[in-house]
Amino acid sequence: FLEASIEKVLHTLFEAFVLVALVVFLFLGDWRSTLIPTLAVPVSLIGTFFFMLLFGMSINLITLFALVLAIGVVVDDAIVVVEAVHAKMAEKHLKPYPATKEVMGEISGAIIAITLVMTAVFVPVTFMTGPVGVFYRQFGLTMAMSIVLSGIVALTLTPVLCAMILKPHGANQGKWRGPLAMFLHLFDRGVERVTGVYARFVRAIVSRRLLTLLVVGAFGAGIYLVNNHLASGFIPLEDQGMIYGIIQTPPGSTLEYTNSKSHELQDIARKIDGVASVSSLAGYEVLTEGRGSNAGTCLINLKNWSDRKMTSRQIIEELEKEGSVISNVKLEFFEPPAVPGFGAAGGFSMRVLDKTNTMDYQRLGEVTNKYLEALGKRKEVKGLFTFFASNYPQYELVINNDVAMQKGVSIKNAMDNLSIVVGSTWEQGFVRFGQFFKVYAQAAPEFRRFPEDFNNIFVKNDRGDMVPYSAFMKLEKKQGPNEINRYNLYPSAAIQGAPANGYSTGQAIQAIREVAAETLPRGYDVGWEGLTYDEANKGNTAVYILLIVVVFVYLVLVGQYESFMLP
């Protein structure tokens, strides 16, 4: 997925380079003038790579994206110099070298100002904190470095190239004839007409200060209103070529039963167009790391993007429709997280927290089910899934300590012995026939198959006599949680879900908070995990950074123009 994404960005990098060269050629009109700004691009980019290495950064999607944008920015300063030299040669009929010398004396300050202002936009962004800051920092630094280098190139390499490559006006070198010359002539006339219309429009409104302030105020209000209504998100999910299928059979189901259901899903997935391979696993689900005989996972690998017509989301819809024929099982499908390592899957990750300190898992299960039922009615979310359930069939070992003492049995020894007999322990290993064999101690299956077999299990007391467990311990049928997960020391129920089609993660988080406020009783709360944690707690850092950027740019311009009003 990463290789394919980087390849696409490299294509874009090349396309941007070609387009920039074409635009420069259209406006400057000859290949010599086009060559100068075009050469500024590779020089600035190679210099940027050098400083990226110096700062310990790598070539990744973020830095490559910054370089794509930088291509359009780094030619600006060079174009300003070339255009100014052309104008000077036309006005004073100078040769390229004296024209360049005169121009650099006039516009060096402007070039420095352009560079500082552009850099001032990106430098404050690098001070953002958290995971968002990691992305912005690489993006901002890459942009800032390329812009500074483009300014240095415009003050050094570009003037030298102008003096060496450009020809005096009137010389025939570099001039085009035929259809191309006619096209460039018509293009110039078109640009002049558009410029004339624009100039007339500006002349009509330039003195109307009140109108200008009203327009700026209207745009400011528009930004505020649109920002409040626009759906918020963190990092959008992309088609990464993989889908997780999560299987949950009823509590108490055997591993064999869950395995058979995962194989059913495997067979269905293989028949869907666009699926390359499917692997299934019973006893574990990757989303909430739930372990149990009723948990299963299918890892569905998709074909290459060029070899399939459907996107991963469309394939998920197909899987949901086809998977509905599998009975007595709950199925949910998720994509991998947008950023590897941030959570187990895309969408949102959260927990219902029990802050009552009662350790009442039955109550936590009831609250979670009620909360999920209410949340499932909201149109912003889909695919709600939790592995937490407080109704798993279990046996509780009730120990009579007094009888155990009378029998001379140590409870610690009894429990250690029981875990070896019913469970197992790795005792030793040996090598034979060039292979390593592990030795496990455990009762044979026929002696630990049924609850009644507990009556035939013995432990040695302090006098060396064998004492049956049934003499001081009994089994009681109960229901309880399969496993207990904690979040900041609170018992919790992990929940995974995804925004519904047409909704963003920000809207899903808002719906989660609203339903929590309405349904969760006193002493219960929600916690966030993975990317959702950072999105839910991101705050308004970006807004403050934006304001700092505006102030920063203003102060740079104040220093340049030596005026508080002009900027």
- Residue 399: give its domain's CATH number: 3.30.2090.10
Both 331 and 355 in one domain: the answer is no
Both 42 and 150 in one domain: the answer is yes
pLDDT at residue 273, rounded to an integer: 87
Both 357 and 501 in one domain: the answer is yes
pLDDT at residue 343, rounded to an integer: 67
Both 373 and 429 in one domain: the answer is no
**Is 214 contained in some domain?**
no
Q: How far apart are CA 563 and CA 567, in angstroms?
A: 7
pLDDT tens readout for residues 284-301: 887 777 778 888 888 999
**Burial of 532 (C-beta count, 10 Å sphere; 0-12/13-18/19+):** buried
Nearest to 143 by CA among 89, 64, 43: 64
Residue 383's CATH number: 3.30.70.1440
pLDDT tens readout for residues 154-170: 999 999 998 888 887 65
pLDDT tens readout for residues 498-555: 888 888 888 888 899 999 999 999 999 999 987 788 777 776 677 788 888 888 888 8
pLDDT at residue 443, rounded to an integer: 92
Residue 18 pLDDT more than 90?
A: no
| % of the chain surpassing 90 pLDDT | 23
Both 470 and 504 in one domain: the answer is no
**Is 217 contained in some domain?**
no
- Over residues 385-413, mean pLDDT: 88
Task: Compute and round to an integer the Cα radius of gyration of the chain.
Answer: 35
| Angle between the N-to-C axes of helices 2-28 and 179-205, in degrees from 0 to 180, rounded to the nearest 10 | 90
Domain limit, last residue, from 345, 365, 380: 345
Both 146 and 87 in one domain: the answer is yes
**Is 156 contained in some domain?**
yes
Confidence of residue 458 (pLDDT cuts 50, 70, 90): very high
Domain limit, last residue, from 415, 450, 480: 480
Tell me how many domains the chain contains: 4
Both 341 and 353 in one domain: the answer is no
Both 258 and 382 in one domain: the answer is no
Domain limit, last residue, from 133, 155, 175: 175
pLDDT tens readout for residues 74-109: 888 888 888 888 888 888 888 889 999 998 988 888
Q: How far apart are CA 319 and CA 301, in angstroms?
A: 13
Both 254 and 133 in one domain: the answer is no
Residue 173 pLDDT more than 60?
A: no
Q: How far apart are CA 140 and CA 121, in angstroms?
A: 9
For 75, the domain range is 2-175
Residue 151's CATH number: 1.20.1640.10
pTM of the model: 0.68
Both 39 and 92 in one domain: the answer is yes
- Do residues 297 and 283 touch, judged by C-beta distance below 8 A? no
pLDDT tens readout for residues 367-387: 999 999 999 999 989 888 888
Average of per-residue pLDDT values in the chain: 86
pLDDT at residue 174, rounded to an integer: 46
Ramachandran region, residue 359 (left: φ > 0; alpha: ψ -120 to 50; beta: rest): left
Q: What are phi and psi of 89, to 5 degrees?
A: -65, -35
Both 404 and 446 in one domain: the answer is yes
Nearest to 284 by CA among 398, 203, 387: 387
Both 401 and 504 in one domain: the answer is no
Q: In DSSP terms, which residues pair with 438 in a beta bridge?
A: 429
Residue 280's CATH number: 3.30.70.1430
pLDDT at residue 177, rounded to an integer: 67
pLDDT at residue 428, rounded to an integer: 86
